[in-house]
């Protein structure tokens, strides 16, 4: 088994992955804010959002969701690496076999990460003092993040 990944590179990989999904949704919000500013500048009595802006936002939201699923579930499940993990030379592996975990377990891991991080931020910090450098969602799904 390769050496376990330290906390800081894991955080860096998450930030890179967050940028991938964050840019499209930020563009969608930008379109909505731009439309709101334009409406307020025109002193329009109509407070409704133009339909095209809603469509742009939905397309951006769908793109963000699709990129997240592709990167963190399908790509990482198949290869062990999201884009962020690839850039920082990390890999997600099964704790018993050392192989990629597949899309189903990668989805479960992401789902649990969302639950644990929203319930208690300590999930993200847990690798700092855990002997196996695992988060809670890694422990439940039996995975390690290793250096490559």
Contact between residue 111 and residue 69 where contact means Cβ atoms under 8 Å apart: no
- 63-75 residues labelled b (16+ CB within 10 A) or e (exposed): bbeebbbebbbeb
50-108 pLDDT, tens digit each = 889 999 999 999 999 999 999 999 999 999 999 999 999 999 999 999 999 999 999 99
The DSSP secondary-structure symbol of 70 reads I
What pTM was estimated for this model as a whole?
Answer: 0.89
């Amino acid at each position: 088994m390769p050496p376990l990944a330290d906390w800081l590179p894991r955080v860096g990989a998450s930030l890179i992955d967050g940028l991938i999904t964050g840019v499209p949704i930020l563009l969608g919000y930008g379109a909505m804010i731009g439309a709101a500013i334009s409406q307020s500048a025109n002193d329009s009595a109509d407070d409704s959002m133009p339909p095209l802006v809603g469509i742009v936002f939905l397309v951006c939201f769908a793109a963000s969701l699709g990129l997240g699923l592709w990167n963190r579930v399908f790509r990482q499940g198949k290869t062990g690496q999201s884009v962020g993990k690839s850039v920082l030379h990390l890999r997600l592996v099964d704790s018993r076999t050392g192989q990629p975990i597949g899309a189903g377990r990668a989805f479960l891991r992401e789902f649990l990460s969302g639950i644990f991080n929203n319930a208690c931020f300590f999930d993200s910090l847990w690798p700092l003092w855990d002997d196996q450098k695992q988060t809670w969602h890694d422990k439940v799904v039996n995975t390690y993040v290793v250096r490559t």
